[in-house]
Amino acid sequence: MSGLPRVLIVDDSRVGRVSLMQHVRGHFEVREESDGESAWQTLVLDQSIRAVVSDLQMPKMDGFALLERLRGSKLRRLQQMPFILVSGEESEEERAKARTLGVSDFIGKGSGSNEILARLSNLLALQEARENVEAGRDHMVSDPESGLYTRKYLELQTAQALSHAARHGGDVSVLVLGFDGFDVLCGSLGAVVADEVANRFAKMLAGKMRHEDSLGHFGPGQFAVVSPGTAPQFCATFAERVRQAVEVAKLSVQGQTVSLTVSVGMASVPTDLVSSAGALLDLAGERMRAAEIAGGNRTDSGGVLPATRPISLQHAVELLQAGRSGVVLPHLEALLHQLRPLLALMDKELSLNLPASLTSRSVQPDDTEKE
């Protein structure tokens, strides 16, 4: 390999191929084929080829068919590959057909070296610029380590959701979730391991979201969820469920069990009067930080009350196992109501002689605690 860009020259005339190779020698590395079918096989197999210079009239597969096959390929590099047709005595109709099929440029059979090199160089420079733009767009869209959306792309998603809501009505809600004491976690585990822990949390979070929601990075140890069409009270409910799930989770990191909590901030439109997508995300971020300053492991929804329901028996047990009995205390009466059928059965089958106050269903929880 010479290190020069490689081009494929396709012409059924040996004289034509040699002539073109002489024009580009020293500036490009060349492969040659004598018909369109062989050229196609070479293009599929040789990923180093950057451009094609092809005659129009050839056996087996002419220049039109070769060009059409490239532009219709499933391989992106072939779809976008610069393709120059060597122009001879074809009609204007044939040139128009080539443009329709996606030809990049034409060169005449009598063109000199300077013109051929200039056209090839310009097309390759344009292709490189396009590839750089696409690579930059991919980097903007997703974080290379976690695969999650970047904050900039989340802002674009939010702007799109706000535009749709302005035209058709509806809500747009945003959550920002941050690990409490993430800097301390980085200090004890190291930044790389702490980021891995955060990304494990993000995968758990992604599994609880709707398909239309967007999840991405907001800051170190912080994530944002953009939820179009979700009313704020339901978004606040979701935030509480996520917070509770993290509260009782036990992660094994470097042989030790790590307990984590998150603070959550929520903002929504039209409930919150903000002027832009960035302002909506920033407001949720400010509320997340306020929740963290207030002690952490809580949600600041800007006064929006979640559409709550009693905690389940399973979640209550998980909280107790995590040593957080204080969270369970407000729900004891509702939990007892859920337990009574089981206690009655146990009393009957195991002869426990439990007090009637435990097994009787006459006492009902407050209506506010019902499902």
pLDDT, tens only, 337-358: 888 888 888 888 888 888 887 7
Name the least confident of 75-89, 197-211, 319-333: 319-333
pLDDT band at 143; cut points 50, 70, 90: low
SS3 content of the chain, % helix, strand, coil (to 5): 50, 20, 30
Q: How many angstroms separate the CA atoms of 280 and 294, rounded?
A: 21
233-271: per-residue pLDDT in tens? 989 988 988 898 888 887 777 777 778 899 999 999 999
pTM of the model as a whole: 0.51
Q: Which helix (H) or strand (E) holds 330?
A: none
Confidence class of residue 201 from pLDDT cuts 50, 70 and 90?
A: confident
For residue 213, the tally of other CB atoms under 10 A from its CB is 21
Which pairing describes strands 214-219 and 222-228: parallel, antiparallel, or unpaired? antiparallel
Residue whose entry in the numeric block shows the structure tokens 């006064």: 303
Q: Measuring CA to CA, how many Å separate 122 from each of 27, 44, 84, 332?
A: 13, 24, 12, 75
Residue ranges and CATH numbers for the domains of the chain are 6-141 (3.40.50.2300), 151-308 (3.30.70.270), 311-371 (no CATH)
Instruction: Give the pLDDT confidence score for residue 366 in this predicted structure.
Output: 46
- Residue 5 preceded by cis peptide, ω within 30: no
The pLDDT score that the predictor gives to residue 200 is 84
pLDDT band at 367 (very low <50, low <70, confident <90, very high): very low
Work out the average pLDDT over 139-151.
68
Dist CA 313 CA 339 (whole Å): 8
User: Is the Cβ–Cβ distance between 67 and 54 less than 8 Å?
Assistant: yes
pLDDT band at 82 (very low <50, low <70, confident <90, very high): very high
CB atoms within 10 A of CB 292: 22
pLDDT, tens digit (0-9, with 9 covering 90-100), for 128-139: 877 765 555 545
How high is the mean pLDDT of the chain? Answer: 85
